[in-house]
Amino acid sequence: MHKLKSAILLFLSGFIAPTSAGASIETATLTNHFIASAEYRPGQSSKPAVLVIHGFLSTRNFLTVLNLTTALADSGYTVLAPNLSLGVNMRDVSLACEAIHMHTLADDLAEINFWVEWLVSHGHKTIVLLGHSVGSLHGLLYTLEFKNPAVKKLIATSLVDMESVISVAVSQAQIKKAQALLKRNDNTLASYQLSYCKKYVAPPKAFLSYASWTGQSVLHALAKTSVPVEVILGGSDSRIGAAWPKQLRNAGVNLHVIPGANHFFSNEHEFDLLDSVMVALRSVH
């Protein structure tokens, strides 16, 4: 399981110009020589540190994530918000679906683990993972692959699986196609549907690392994790299936649904989301 650590980062390079009062951009060089960055906003030592994980192909500056980061920092929480590199040096913009995607989910989890360990090395012994969308899935899978005792909770906003906006038939056909290529050691690039991407270009191994996380796989992961998980969904989220909230509840997941909110908790619902996150954080000591 800890083979994922082969992609863990080597060292932290230090301080760059602050982005806002009290904040800094921290950078790290990966074993593949790409450089990743995270915004660090130190807060009160009595409160847990929050590691914020952005959504699929996005960055920490995506509005939903940025609003949460800013509000939590303003409330005294230490916040660390990395940009997953996705195989791009100092990536600070979202990747297009049509780009060539060589990165894997294992690479993403290894980077998350680096930033968790970075927080621990800076004196933070109580850490909460806060994900949005596929970032919530990243957080969940991280708790299975890296059992860091400092991680006390996962707050999973807009938790999705990787076939949530794709028909099951299309998803299964694509997975079967990619598995056949992989079995023949054929690393040919192909175009797939993945998450919200209608044209996601990747080799089979990279594609399968994400696509294999179907709804049932996510429910199984929720049942296996030893870290407390709280899921927050929008009641009008068009990126999840109608049955998803019921499936989560039936699986015993601690679920809160914000009526009328979409996948991004836009407009007035951003305050409802923040209130729900704050409540979830109060139970962590």
Domain count, the chain: 2
Q: Report how far residue 218's alpha carbon sits from residue 102's, in angstroms, rounded to the nearest whole number.
A: 23
Range of the domain at 37: 2-161+213-282
Q: Are residues 139 and 187 in the same domain?
A: no
Range with lowest mean pLDDT among 9-13, 157-161, 184-188, 218-222: 9-13
Q: Are residues 233 and 130 in the same domain?
A: yes
Find the CATH number of the domain harbouring 244: 3.40.50.1820
Q: What tokens appear for 121 in the block? A: 């090395």
Of 5, 84, 93, whose CA–CA distance to 38 is shortest?
A: 84
Average predicted confidence (pLDDT) for the chain = 91
pLDDT digits (tens, 9 = 90+) for 53-81: 999 999 999 999 999 999 999 999 999 99
Q: Are residues 265 and 149 in the same domain?
A: yes
Q: Are residues 6 and 65 in the same domain?
A: yes
Q: Are residues 130 and 52 in the same domain?
A: yes
Range with lowest mean pLDDT among 10-19, 82-91, 118-127: 10-19
Q: Are residues 221 and 171 in the same domain?
A: no
Q: Are residues 156 and 171 in the same domain?
A: no
* Consecutive H or E run containing 128: strand 127-132
pLDDT band with cut points at 50, 70 and 90 for residue 21: low
Q: Are residues 204 and 234 in the same domain?
A: no
- End position of a domain, from candidates 191, 212, 233: 212
Coil, strand or helix at 272: helix
What is the rounded average pLDDT of the residues 149-175?
Answer: 94
Cα distances (Å, whole numbers) of residue 54 to 35, 201, 216, 275: 17, 21, 23, 19
